[in-house]
A and B are shown apart, each in its own frame.
Chain A
C-alpha cells in the first residue's frame, strides 16, 4: 500500500468513526444554554471565560435560567451580559452589590448575583460590598481576584501582592507606602449576614470543579433565603502579568495561593443546613 492510499483509508476511517462516536448517546458535555454563542473577548488563558462558563453550567443544571438576574461589573468582565443568556444589568464601578440589592429586594423570589473584580469590589466598592454582606442580602457575589487592574492596563489593585509589579507600582508594591493587600473574603466572612464564604481558583481542573461546587451551593442557599454567599475566585491576568497562560497559572499557584489560600472561610453549621 503506498502512502497516498494509506492516508485516504485513514481519512475514510475517521469519517466512519465520527459517525459512530458522535451520536446523542455518547454526548458527555454540551455548551450550556445559558452561555451564548458570542465569541469571548478575554485574553488567552484568562480566568473570566472559565468563571462565566461555570456560572452558566450551574444555572442550567439548577434549571433557573428564567429566574436569574445578574449584575455585570466594570473592568474586563464588563461585557459579561454578552455571554450569559440571562437578564442582566450593568453597574457603575463598585456599585454592583447595591444594584443587586435593589433587584433582589423587589424580586425576592428570583436568583440574583453580582460578578465583580478586585478593583470593583475591594477598592471603590468596599462600602457597598461590606454593607451588602452585613445586611445579609440573599444574593451571590462572585469575586474575581487577579491581583491587578486588567482593563485599564495593569495598575495596582487592593489585592496586588507585596513586591508585585504593576504600572503604578513599577518597583513592586511597597507595603510601607502602598498598604497591604486586602483579604476581603476574610473580612466579609466575619460578618453575621454572610452565610457562606469561600475562596476558589480556576487554574487547574480540580480547582475548577471545586469552584463550580461552590457556585452551585450558593444558588441552593439563596433559594433557602439563607443570606449572602461570597465566592472568591483567585484568577490570573496573563496579559498584565506579562506571562504566557501556563506561566500565569504556575505563578498563581506559587505566589497568589500562599497569600490567598483556597478553602471555605465560612460554612453553615450542620444544624442550619
Chain B
C-alpha cells in the first residue's frame, strides 16, 4: 500500500534526504528553507547515524561538503539565494575537483537581502556558472513537493554518476507549501569506498589527491577540456523535460518549477476560450532541452511562445536559443516575490498574441 503523507516541501525534501542514505548535511539557516536543517537536526542522526552540522556560515558549510564529499560520502547542503551566493567559491572548487554532492537552493526574491518570498531569480547563477571559471552543475527544477522528494535521490545518483555537483533548484513557495507525497523506502547508507576518495592511503595504492590546482596552463587546459567533454556527455544523456499538449498548440508556454503549474492552469483557462495552449517544462535546466523545444517551435500551427518566470527574463534566453527565430518568443515575468496568477498569464497570452488567436 502506498504511504502517502501531507508534508511541507522543505520537510519532505529533508525526509527524502534521510531516506536516500545521505551521510552528511552541513548548512546554515536562512528563510525560506530553514526547515531542512531543522527537520534533519531532529530526525537524521537518530535514524541513520547521518551527520548533521550547523556551520558558522554558508562559506563554511559548502567547504565542509567539499571535505566530506572528498571521502566519497553522500554529502549535501541547502540554502536560499543570498546563502547560495556565498557558496559560489566552494561550488567552483567542487566542480573543478569533480566531487559529487547535492546543493539545494530554495530561491527567494533578490537581489541583495531582497525578500523571503518565492522567486526564480537564481536561474543564471545556477545554470550559467555563478562562481568563477568554466564549470557546470547539473540543475534539477522540481515543480511539486513530490518532485522535491524524487529529485533528492536522483540528484545523488547523478552526482556520483558524473562526479559533479548537482543543484536542486526550487523556489520559496515549493519549500513552504504542503502537498501530499509518496516516499520511497529507506535506502541503506553507502558502504562502497570510491577508488578516488581520500580515506587514508593503504600501502598498496598511490595517495589520492583532491585538488583544483593545476598551475601549468597546458595541464589546466587539459582539465578544462575534460570537464567540457563531461558536460557534453551530460547534455546527451541527462535531459529531462515535460511537454503537455504542445504538439498541436497555438501557443506554447515555457516555464520551470512552480510557474509551470501556474501555466498549466492558464492553459486550462485558455482551452475554455478555445485557445490551444501547451506547456513545455524543462525538468533539467542544465542540460537544457534545446532540441525538443526546437522541434516543437517548427510547428506551422504555432503562433508563438510565451515564457513565464519569476524573474526579469533568465530562462527565456535559453528558450530563444532553442527556438532560434523559428517562432516569436515573448516574455512575462514577475519579481520580488510576486507569484503570477493563471488569469494574469492568460491575459498576457491574449495581449501578446492579439488578433492571431481564434
* B85-110 contact mask (Cβ, 8 Å, vs A): 1 or 0: 00001100100010000000000000
* A192-209 contact mask (Cβ, 8 Å, vs B): 1 or 0: 000000000000000000
Contact partner, A102, options B65, B200, B207, B213, Cβ 8 Å: B65
Contact partner, B67, options A68, A86, A99, A127, Cβ 8 Å: A99
A87 contacts B24, C-beta separation under 8 Å: no
Contact partner, B210, options A85, A86, A89, A127, Cβ 8 Å: A89
Tell me the minimal C-beta distance from A97 to chain B in angstroms: 9
Separation of A105 and B71 alpha carbons in the complex (Å): 11
B158 at the binding interface (Cβ < 8 Å): no
Q: Which residues of B contact A (CB under 8 A)?
A: 23-24, 26, 51, 53, 55-57, 59-61, 63-71, 73, 75, 89-90, 93, 97, 197-203, 207-213
Tell me the minimal C-beta distance from B78 to chain A in angstroms: 15
A90 contacts B212, C-beta separation under 8 Å: yes
Interface size on A, residues (CB 8 A): 35
- For A33, the closest partner residue in chain B by CB is B203
Contact partner, B209, options A65, A68, A87, Cβ 8 Å: A87
A121 at the binding interface (Cβ < 8 Å): no
A103 at the binding interface (Cβ < 8 Å): yes
A107 at the binding interface (Cβ < 8 Å): yes
Q: Which residues of A contact B (CB under 8 A)?
A: 65-69, 71-72, 78-79, 81, 84-92, 95, 98-107, 110, 127-128, 130-131
- For B64, the closest partner residue in chain A by CB is A102
A105 contacts B66, C-beta separation under 8 Å: no
- Give the residues in chain B near A103, CB-CB below 8 Å: 67-68, 70-71, 198
- Give the residues in chain A near B71, CB-CB below 8 Å: 69, 103, 106-107
A65 contacts B198, C-beta separation under 8 Å: no
A81 contacts B207, C-beta separation under 8 Å: yes
- Give the residues in chain B near A67, CB-CB below 8 Å: 200
Separation of A234 and B298 alpha carbons in the complex (Å): 69
Contact partner, A98, options B24, B55, B209, B211, Cβ 8 Å: B55
- For A130, the closest partner residue in chain B by CB is B56
Tell me the minimal C-beta distance from B217 to chain A in angstroms: 17
- Give the residues in chain B near A110, CB-CB below 8 Å: 199-200
A71 contacts B67, C-beta separation under 8 Å: yes
Separation of A102 and B67 alpha carbons in the complex (Å): 5
Tell me the minimal C-beta distance from A58 to chain B in angstroms: 16
